[in-house]
Chain A
Amino acid sequence: MRRNVAIIGCGQTKHTSKRRDVNIAEMVSEAVYNALEDAQVSLREVDAFVVGNMQGFGGIAQPEQWLGDSIGAPGKSVIRIATGGTTGGSVGQGAYYTVASGLHDVAVAVAWEKHSDSREAGATTGLLHVGLGNFFHAASYGLSLKNLVATSAVGAAAGVAVFQAVFYMHRSGCSIEHFDMVAAKARRNAAKNKYAHLQWPGCTPEDIARTEIIAYPFRYGHICPASDGASAIVVAEENLARKKARQPAWFKGLAAFSDEENSLQSENFGGVGVLDPSEQKGCWMSATKAYKMAGIKDPQKEIDVAEVYQPFPSQELIFAERLGLFDEGTAWMALEKGETDIDGRMPLDPSGGVNATNAIGSTALQRILECALQIMGKAEEHQVPRKVSNAVAHGWGGVTNYITVTVLGDSPGR
């Protein structure tokens, strides 16, 4: 017999490239207090925190030890979870387990990133540090400079995604125009989300297509920004959830299966055995388990909205298929038909998604948060125009080998 657990409040900050008006502690507490206010829960009722960000990006180790006081953490259990791009998803799932375990009744999950605190954007230096140990190792064996230039020219994070996009294009038949369409949709949707970063009302694929190519098939207009921002959710057990929220967003299923490193290299510069980084077996397995827990048999019919983690537009298509929302190799056709628009058959990222707002640590938690808003009917301008019974939130991270999949619903029933 599992305990029913729900999200009863959501809070986030406005996302921009530079939040110079606040420091990290102030920014994080802004999200926490917004969530507590939304949930109508006082700090005294909270008995656990789950927190996370990419610590290297802000340059502070274990930042919750310093900023815990600002969010009311002292005297409570505080677990810090960090799993790269999926950090927010892992933090949100951590809050579920915190309450589902019966050890705690009300938990706050908060995740954030403040890229602008680093002189060079964390997305460049911070992500290079992922492979820093490998780099020094290879350098000691005479790494070819020209090879290094090639890696740098494509960009460490983008590099993995570009290869992944090429694989997907090759096997599905989609083209660069579809990526323009995804990016334009993300910016249009973001214009309806007051917390989003890159807002562009009426943005068209042609607008995106006018931007310069970085490395084919990616253009500048395809790439997510580096944002400052934080997001938080209040998670509670059933009794309190029913008392506090008119429509709680219930956790119905969740999983986070990791795969082998998808490309680049393994520890100490070894090769990897995943031949197609767009295959994403971990995502497929996570979705399968999450749907099973949620009692969802046909996600194409039963999921009403999805928040897919898509810093690069190709990933909205790749992962939507792996989440079972479209048949293999067909997501781009649905995109063409407008099925993934806010008012489409299967709305993808009505919030604008990661492509419009990327505060790395927080981003995957925002996907869960946005799904909760859709279920609670609180998404305001970007609320999808239909009854949302089930929503799926996705996150990816690491060397595209980490995945979080979380299914939320309007009832706890399985």
Chain B
Amino acid sequence: MIRRVAIVGYAQSHHQHNMQKTREDMVFEVCKEALHHAGILREELDTVITASTDFLDGRTISSVFLSMAVGAFLKDESKVEEDGTFALYYALMRILAGTHDVALVEAHTQGSTFNPHQVTFYTLDPLFDRQIGVLNDIAAAALQARMYMNRYSVSEEHLAMAAVKNITNAAENPCAHRKMPDVSVEEVMSSKVFYDPIRELMMSPISDGACALILASEERAKEITDKPVWIEGVGSCQDAYLRDRNIQNLDSLQMAARTAYKMAGVKEPFSELDVAEVSEKFAHEELMIYEALGLCQEGQGKNLIERGTTRRDGEMPVNPSGGALGADPVCATGLIRVIEAAKQIRGEAGGYQVPDVRRALAHGQFGICAQKNAIFILGGNGS
């Protein structure tokens, strides 16, 4: 990267079902808090990038009435759609370009406004899949899960174990939505079936939530904080559309990760990363993500779950915050992963802190069967 850029502050809401706050208040609060966390004033921002989508917000030009809330009044700003990690990618590009030094990135969705699963139906090919009307993100995920399970002899118990790990982790995270500290494999496996084998507790919950993050160039970051979290590598990649792609692999995630690893000089992700925060919208995706990230061989994701390797106290903790299964305010979910990874590096994760984290990975995704992916490799001062 041609400039060093760091995360210097962040905030997130207490994600929950049907939050009793307006969109404007929710967004304003996290932006204000992120500025406070960084210890800077709105006046010090050079640019503001937000993330949301029109269909999810139920408003054409979803950002239009939020400029004031996000602190973009008379600021050089823009809005990226879909996951907040893409907004972060854009903000990073603006700083790398040398045209801006301090950026605020904000992402939000109130899932209670409109069923996010219904929105995924409108992302389908309008001339064919939408006409047939059988697919949405859950149905497609079920097909994906079945193919993956069939190919690598993964059982429903494996999926349930991944769900239990993340949901119990979420119980320690005050911002997470699901509060089920005692959830068991049996409970997950007896929860409601949506599309076999996908059950309620194997899916992310529909949450209302927002998050914001402050990004700064090296010079400014050092002035702002003595605990900057550096962005060491990034990658972003889109896969082919559902029908032209092999959905049993996450190829675009693998490509994004490789780009990010190369930039960060990571050769052995399993040993060089201390923690990963990933956006697993469904339990089976977590196993697939392990493989795409190179934390294990193809088809071996189930072993990491079986052995407890990715538990909070395991050798390679994944989603100590609870991940997307803990809370999923759609557009914010990926950016929350970045914040959680940064918290681990700064030692601010409280009850779910992993000891001695120097380097962390954060992942955001969007689209049916994780069609688009973005990866961030973060490091502390010592890494």
Binding site for B on A (CB under 8 A): 1-3, 23-24, 49, 52, 54-57, 59-66, 68-69, 73-84, 90, 93-94, 96-98, 100-103, 126-134, 254-261, 266-268, 281-282, 285-286, 289, 293, 397-399, 401-402
From A65, A76, A90, A130, give the contact of B237 (CB < 8 A): A76
Could you tell me the distance between the alpha carbons of A171 and B67 in the complex, rounded to whole angstroms?
Answer: 28
CB of B75 within 8 Å of the partner chain: yes
Question: Given A62-B366, A80-B80, do A258 and B238 touch, yes or no (CB 8 Å)?
Answer: no
Q: Are A66 and B241 in contact (CB under 8 A)?
A: yes
Could you tell me the distance between the alpha carbons of A129 and B65 in the complex, rounded to whole angstroms?
Answer: 12
Could you tell me the distance between the alpha carbons of A103 and B96 in the complex, rounded to whole angstroms?
Answer: 9
Chain B contacts of A2 at CB under 8 A?
97-99
Q: Are B125 and A127 in contact (CB under 8 A)?
A: no
From B64, B125, B239, give the contact of A398 (CB < 8 A): B64
Q: Are B97 and A97 in contact (CB under 8 A)?
A: yes
Chain B residue at minimal CB-CB distance from A58: B126
Chain A contacts of B123 at CB under 8 A?
60-63, 65-66
Chain A residue at minimal CB-CB distance from B129: A66
Interface class of chain A by DSSP: mixed
Q: Are A82 and B252 in contact (CB under 8 A)?
A: no
**Interface range, B side:** 35 or more
Could you tell me the distance between the alpha carbons of A80 and B62 in the complex, rounded to whole angstroms?
Answer: 14
Which residues, 250 to 300 on B, are CB-close (under 8 Å) to A? 251-252, 255
Q: Are B236 and A77 in contact (CB under 8 A)?
A: yes
Which residues, 350 to 382 on B, are CB-close (under 8 Å) to A? 366-368, 371-372
CB of B311 within 8 Å of the partner chain: no
Question: Given A130-B60, A258-B73, A281-B74, do A77 and B93 touch, yes or no (CB 8 Å)?
Answer: no
From B53, B58, B96, give the contact of A55 (CB < 8 A): B53
Chain A residue at minimal CB-CB distance from B235: A77
User: How far, in Å, is B42 (CB) from chain A's closest CB?
Assistant: 13
Could you tell me the distance between the alpha carbons of A259 and B75 in the complex, rounded to whole angstroms?
Answer: 8
CB of B54 within 8 Å of the partner chain: yes
Could you tell me the distance between the alpha carbons of A65 and B239 in the complex, rounded to whole angstroms?
Answer: 8
Between A and B, 11 residue pairs with Cβ closer than 8 Å are A97-B90, A102-B2, A103-B96, A103-B234, A127-B60, A130-B61, A130-B64, A257-B76, A260-B73, A261-B65, A401-B64
User: How far, in Å, is B176 (CB) from chain A's closest CB?
Assistant: 26
User: How far, in Å, is A322 (CB) from chain B's closest CB?
Assistant: 14
Chain B residue at minimal CB-CB distance from A286: B76
From B60, B81, B93, B368, give the contact of A97 (CB < 8 A): B93
Q: Are A94 and B78 in contact (CB under 8 A)?
A: yes
Question: Given A55-B55, A75-B237, A80-B82, do A98 and B75 touch, yes or no (CB 8 Å)?
Answer: no
User: How far, in Å, is B166 (CB) from chain A's closest CB?
Assistant: 26
From A61, A64, A102, A289, give the contact of B96 (CB < 8 A): A102
Q: Are B244 and A69 in contact (CB under 8 A)?
A: yes
From A59, A96, A267, give the contact of B126 (CB < 8 A): A59
CB of B63 within 8 Å of the partner chain: yes
From A73, A80, A130, A293, give the contact of B86 (CB < 8 A): A80
Chain A contacts of B158 at CB under 8 A?
none
Q: Are A266 and B65 in contact (CB under 8 A)?
A: yes
Q: Are B53 and A268 in contact (CB under 8 A)?
A: no
Question: Given A61-B53, A93-B78, do A73 and B238 touch, yes or no (CB 8 Å)?
Answer: yes
Most B C-beta atoms less than 10 A away, residue of A64, A73, A130, A267 = A267
User: How far, in Å, is A114 (CB) from chain B's closest CB?
Assistant: 11
Q: Are B54 and A1 in contact (CB under 8 A)?
A: no
Q: Are B93 and A101 in contact (CB under 8 A)?
A: yes
Q: Are A100 and B99 in contact (CB under 8 A)?
A: yes
Chain B contacts of A399 at CB under 8 A?
64-65
Q: Are B93 and A100 in contact (CB under 8 A)?
A: yes
8 smallest CB-CB distances across A and B, nearest first, come from: A100-B97, A101-B93, A101-B96, A84-B61, A267-B65, A129-B60, A77-B236, A61-B122
Q: Are B81 and A80 in contact (CB under 8 A)?
A: yes
Chain A residue at minimal CB-CB distance from B79: A83
Q: Are A79 and B236 in contact (CB under 8 A)?
A: yes
CB of B193 within 8 Å of the partner chain: no
User: How far, in Å, is B279 (CB) from chain A's closest CB?
Assistant: 16
Q: Are B238 and A133 in contact (CB under 8 A)?
A: no
Q: Are A56 and B238 in contact (CB under 8 A)?
A: no
User: How far, in Å, is A108 (CB) from chain B's closest CB?
Assistant: 13
Could you tell me the distance between the alpha carbons of A397 and B23 in the complex, rounded to whole angstroms?
Answer: 21
Could you tell me the distance between the alpha carbons of A113 and B215 in the complex, rounded to whole angstroms?
Answer: 33
CB of B69 within 8 Å of the partner chain: yes
Q: Are B74 and A282 in contact (CB under 8 A)?
A: yes
User: How far, in Å, is A263 (CB) from chain B's closest CB?
Assistant: 12
Q: Are B126 and A60 in contact (CB under 8 A)?
A: yes
CB of B66 within 8 Å of the partner chain: yes
Could you tell me the distance between the alpha carbons of A52 and B81 in the complex, rounded to whole angstroms?
Answer: 9
Could you tell me the distance between the alpha carbons of A159 and B80 in the complex, rounded to whole angstroms?
Answer: 27
Chain A contacts of B97 at CB under 8 A?
2-3, 96-97, 100-101
Chain A residue at minimal CB-CB distance from B371: A65
Q: Are A402 and B64 in contact (CB under 8 A)?
A: yes
From B60, B65, B124, B367, give the contact of A56 (CB < 8 A): B60
Chain A contacts of B68 at CB under 8 A?
260-261, 266
Chain A residue at minimal CB-CB distance from B89: A79
Could you tell me the distance between the alpha carbons of A131 and B65 in the complex, rounded to whole angstroms?
Answer: 9
Q: Are B54 and A55 in contact (CB under 8 A)?
A: yes
Q: Are B69 and A267 in contact (CB under 8 A)?
A: yes
CB of B180 within 8 Å of the partner chain: no
CB of B22 within 8 Å of the partner chain: yes
Chain A contacts of B66 at CB under 8 A?
267
Chain B contacts of A254 at CB under 8 A?
99
User: How far, in Å, is B45 (CB) from chain A's closest CB?
Assistant: 12
Q: Are B372 and A65 in contact (CB under 8 A)?
A: yes
Could you tell me the distance between the alpha carbons of A259 and B74 in the complex, rounded to whole angstroms?
Answer: 5
Chain B contacts of A64 at CB under 8 A?
238
User: How far, in Å, is B9 (CB) from chain A's closest CB?
Assistant: 22
Q: Are B80 and A81 in contact (CB under 8 A)?
A: yes
User: How far, in Å, is A110 (CB) from chain B's closest CB?
Assistant: 14
CB of B325 within 8 Å of the partner chain: no
Q: Are A261 and B2 in contact (CB under 8 A)?
A: no
Which residues, 35 to 76 on B, are CB-close (under 8 Å) to A? 53-55, 57-69, 72-76
Q: Are A65 and B64 in contact (CB under 8 A)?
A: no
Q: Mark B93-130, 1 if CB is under 8 A from A, else 0.
A: 11011110000000000000000000110111111000
User: How far, in Å, is A134 (CB) from chain B's closest CB?
Assistant: 8
Chain A residue at minimal CB-CB distance from B91: A97
Q: Are A257 and B74 in contact (CB under 8 A)?
A: yes
From A24, A54, A81, A293, give the contact of B79 (CB < 8 A): A81
From B53, B65, B74, B240, give the contact of A62 (CB < 8 A): B53
User: How far, in Å, is B133 (CB) from chain A's closest CB?
Assistant: 15
Could you tell me the distance between the alpha carbons of A76 and B159 in the complex, rounded to whole angstroms?
Answer: 30
User: How far, in Å, is B228 (CB) from chain A's closest CB?
Assistant: 19
Q: Are B67 and A397 in contact (CB under 8 A)?
A: no
Could you tell me the distance between the alpha carbons of A123 and B126 in the complex, rounded to whole angstroms?
Answer: 21
CB of B214 within 8 Å of the partner chain: no
Could you tell me the distance between the alpha carbons of A126 and B372 in the complex, rounded to whole angstroms?
Answer: 26
User: How far, in Å, is B219 (CB) from chain A's closest CB?
Assistant: 14
From B22, B64, B240, B372, give the contact of A261 (CB < 8 A): B64
Most A C-beta atoms less than 10 A away, residue of B67, B235, B255 = B67
Q: Are B81 and A81 in contact (CB under 8 A)?
A: yes
From B75, B78, B241, B244, give the contact of A81 (CB < 8 A): B78
